[in-house]
Each structure stands twice: as structure tokens, then as C-alpha cells.
């Protein structure tokens, strides 16, 4: 007897647990009936939307961590290609039809990757169980005093689940002790105090797949006097702790030089002189741009680095490739570096990146740049956070690439 084929789409639609299917760009590709019910939203309202646009942070809750924790979990899935469980947490959701109104909700979530034929993450299945009633009923005093045996067991199971989650996290850290130390070092060296002032700026840092999670790529954002903003990216040859140590020295030196001399070209000249005396700095590439918000002009200079891109609101792009010189310490004698500038319009987007984003083995760099500008044209009007995620997904590097990647997306 031949059985009919299984209609997996129909099964997904009626599965009692709430499920969403996300692309690597974290855009909602599908959602089942249970997820619509529990969130009070329709499929039409959710499909095609960036997850954190559909479910933003509750602005009335300054201590909210739901978006940050879920975003971190999803990116762990993209990097590791392994399922990731999020401990029960508070994540309020917007009330349908009432703009600005949020409802308190608690969720227990699991994010599971679905790999494509190329071994990369093609989809993420997000299961979010609503545990609000349970959390609220056991976190507030109840009339009558003591809990029943069944309620006491529920509380015990919940406490054990939270404890198990904590122990699993400790075990994960114990098995990756060296990686965690390296990551802490990298984060300390990449810390940019001024970045928090610029909400229209998104940064991404992805070490090469299989690495210790540290690399020689860097990004930096620096506020300058007279309403100017400096952004930079750089790439030290190699991977691992040695490259990261060189990166830290060069990044700090460039940031200091930019404050002491006038213009990005002069700053790169100072950095080039310094790089001659730093072991491992030879052939480092970097690009420095300064945005003058009063004059609405971008001044830039590049030391052998792939050109930044100025993306206009209509999707057209300008490559900032008119002031390119050899990498740091490549010349035996000091030669002044070139500098160029161009105007921008409010709403344009400046994108700086390292070569891991665009270069592919056996392919000309021009093909990678064309792929980059084509992708930027598609997402030109997205906010910087969504544009950064969409760009990594479109270029197939959301879960990492053979080379390190640093990325800055700045809405001007």
C-alpha cells in the first residue's frame, strides 16, 4: 500500500508550538498559526519583516534585555551552526492596533539552524514558548500562603531548568576558556566609547571560521571637534592572538594620530611611520574617513585597503577609490599620502569593511565589489542594523568566512 506524501507545509502550519522561520538576515520567512496566536499578529503583518522591527525593545523598560539576548543567540547559531537555547526571559511585545503599547511577556526559546547544500546556515527555526502565565503566577505572592504539592513541583522544575541552563553555560565557557580569554581581549581592544553616541551606526566583527575568535581586523569610531566624526577599518596580515596584538597597537596609534594632525592622510602617514617599528605590522591595510556634518563632506585616505562605499537613498553607489596608496610600511622612504573628498546628502549611508567581506578565492576583486554594491542597492533604505545583517546574509558570510570581517554601516 502506497502512502501519500507528507505535506510538511501543512504540518508546520498547525504545529501547536509557536515557530518562525528566519533567513540569515533575520528576516521572517514563515510563521505558523500558533506563533500568530501567541503574538496577536497576522502572517501578513510578519512575513518579510526584520525580526527586531516586528518585535522591537519596549522603550518603557530601560532594563530590557530581550532583543540583545535573542540577537546574540541568533548570531551564535549563524557562527556555530549549532542549536542555541535561550533561558526563560522577559521580552515584551507590541499590542496589535495600539502603537507604542507593549504587553509583558516571558519566553523560553530555542533557535535551530537549517544548513543549505553549501554547508552554510540557510534558515533558522525559532521556537518561542510563551511562559508568561507560569512566571507571573510563581513570582508574585499568592493569597492563602503555601503552594500546593503540584505548584511546588512546578516551581522546583522551573528552578532546576534555570540552574541547568546556568551550568550548561558554565560548561560551554569551561570548554572554550582560551577562546573566551581571547574574545575578551579582542573586545577590549575594539571598544569604541564614542560609538554609543551614534545610534545610526552598526558594526560587525566576524573572525575567520575555525579561528580562535580573534583576528587582526579592526574598526573604530571617533568624535572630533567642529562636528566631525572619524570612522576607520584596518586589516593586519594573519589571524590569532599575534595579529590581534598588532591590531590593538595600530588602532590606538591611528586614533591618537587623528587627534594630533589634520586630516586622514596625515594620520595614515604617522601610522605608517609607526608601523615600521612594530613587528608584524608590515603590509597592514587601513582606510580612514572623516565626516564633516556641517559641510556634509567626507574626506578619506586609504593605505592599500578596499574602497569604502557611499550609498545614496536611491540605491546608487560611489566607491571611495580616489585616494589609495600602498599598505603601511610598504615604502622604504616616507612619501605623503593622497587624500580626497566628496559630498553626501542626509540619509546617505557610508559603508567601510575589510576584504573578507568581498574577496573570494580565484575571483577578481572587481567581481566582489560589484556583488557588494548590488547588495547595498537592494537594502539602501534599511536601517543600519538591518542593512548590516542583510548585507552579510546576501554575501553568504553571516556564519563566517575564510577570512576575518570587520564592517561599519553609518547612516549620515
Digit-by-digit pLDDT tens for the chain (412 residues) are 566 778 888 888 889 889 999 999 999 999 999 999 999 999 999 999 999 999 999 988 888 888 988 998 999 999 889 998 887 788 998 888 788 889 999 888 899 999 998 888 999 999 988 888 877 776 554 444 454 555 555 555 555 565 666 666 666 666 556 556 655 666 666 667 777 788 889 999 887 766 556 677 888 999 999 899 999 999 988 777 778 788 888 888 898 899 889 999 999 999 999 988 888 888 899 999 999 999 999 999 999 999 999 999 999 999 999 999 999 988 877 788 999 999 999 999 999 999 889 988 888 888 999 999 999 999 999 999 999 999 999 998 887 767 788 899 999 9
Instruction: Please state whether beta strands 324-325 and 297-303 pair in parallel, antiparallel, or not at all (unpaired).
Output: parallel
Burial class of residue 9, CB neighbours in 10 A (0-12, 13-18, 19+)? exposed
Assess contact for 409 and 387: CB atoms under 8 A.
Answer: yes
The pLDDT value recorded for residue 5 is 79
Assess contact for 14 and 36: CB atoms under 8 A.
Answer: no
Q: Rounded to whole angstroms, how far apart are CA atoms 354 and 352?
A: 7
The pLDDT value recorded for residue 144 is 45
Q: Rounded to whole angstroms, how far apart are CA atoms 325 and 343?
A: 22
Enumerate the β-bridge partners of residue 234: 218, 286
The pLDDT value recorded for residue 147 is 47
Enumerate the β-bridge partners of residue 299: 290, 341
Task: Characterize 289-309 residue by residue with b for buried, 16 or more Cβ atoms within 10 angstroms of its Cβ, and e for exposed.
Answer: bbbbeeeeebbbbbbbbbbbb
Amino acid at each position: 500500500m502506497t502512502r501519500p506524501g507528507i505535506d510538511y507545509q501543512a504540518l508546520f502550519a498547525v504545529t501547536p508550538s509557536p515557530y518562525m522561520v528566519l533567513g540569515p538576515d533575520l528576516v521572517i520567512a514563515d510563521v505558523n498559526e500558533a506563533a500568530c496566536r501567541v503574538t496577536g499578529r497576522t502572517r501578513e503583518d510578519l512575513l518579510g519583516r526584520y525580526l527586531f522591527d516586528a518585535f522591537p525593545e519596549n522603550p518603557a523598560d530601560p532594563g530590557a534585555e530581550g532583543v540583545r539576548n535573542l540577537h546574540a543567540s541568533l548570531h551564535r547559531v549563524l557562527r556555530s551552526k549549532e542549536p542555541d537555547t535561550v533561558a526563560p526571559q522577559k521580552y515584551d511585545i507590541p499590542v496589535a492596533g495600539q502603537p507604542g503599547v507593549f504587553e509583558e511577556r516571558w519566553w523560553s526559546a530555542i533557535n535551530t539552524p537549517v544548513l543549505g547544500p553549501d554547508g552554510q546556515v540557510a534558515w533558522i527555526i525559532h521556537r518561542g514558548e510563551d511562559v508568561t502565565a507560569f512566571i507571573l503566577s510563581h513570582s508574585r505572592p499568592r493569597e492563602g500562603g503555601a503552594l500546593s504539592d503540584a505548584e511546588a513541583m512546578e516551581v522546583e522544575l522551573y528552578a532546576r531548568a534555570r540552574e541547568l541552563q546556568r551550568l550548561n553555560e558554565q560548561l560551554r565557557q569551561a570548554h572554550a576558556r582560551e577562546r573566551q580569554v581571547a574574545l575578551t581581549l579582542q573586545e577590549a581592544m575594539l571598544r569604541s566609547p564614542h560609538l554609543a553616541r551614534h545610534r545610526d551606526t552598526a558594526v560587525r566583527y566576524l573572525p575567520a571560521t575555525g579561528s580562535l575568535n580573534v583576528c587582526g581586523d579592526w574598526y573604530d569610531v571617533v568624535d572630533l571637534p567642529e562636528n566631525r566624526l572619524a570612522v576607520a577599518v584596518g586589516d593586519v596580515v594573519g589571524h590569532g592572538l599575534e595579529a590581534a596584538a598588532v591590531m590593538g597597537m595600530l588602532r590606538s596609534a591611528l586614533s591618537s594620530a587623528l587627534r594630533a594632525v589634520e586630516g586622514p592622510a596625515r594620520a595614515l602617514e604617522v601610522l605608517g611611520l609607526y608601523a615600521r617599528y612594530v613587528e608584524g605590522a608590515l603590509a597592514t591595510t587601513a582606510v580612514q574617513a572623516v565626516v564633516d556634518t556641517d559641510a556634509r563632506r567626507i574626506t578619506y585616505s586609504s593605505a592599500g585597503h578596499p574602497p569604502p562605499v557611499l550609498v545614496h537613498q536611491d540605491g546608487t553607489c560611489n566607491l571611495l577609490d580616489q585616494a589609495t596608496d600602498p599598505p603601511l610600511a610598504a615604502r622604504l622612504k616616507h612619501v605623503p599620502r593622497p587624500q580626497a573628498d566628496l559630498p553626501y546628502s542626509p540619509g546617505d549611508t557610508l559603508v567601510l569593511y575589510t576584504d573578507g567581506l568581498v574577496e573570494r578565492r580565484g575571483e577578481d576583486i572587481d567581481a566582489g565589489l560589484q556583488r557588494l554594491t548590488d547588495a547595498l542597492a537592494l537594502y539602501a533604505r534599511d536601517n543600519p542594523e538591518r542593512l548590516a545583517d542583510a548585507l552579510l546574509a546576501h554575501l553568504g558570510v553571516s556564519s563566517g568566512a575564510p577570512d576575518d570581517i570587520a564592517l561599519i554601516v553609518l547612516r549620515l
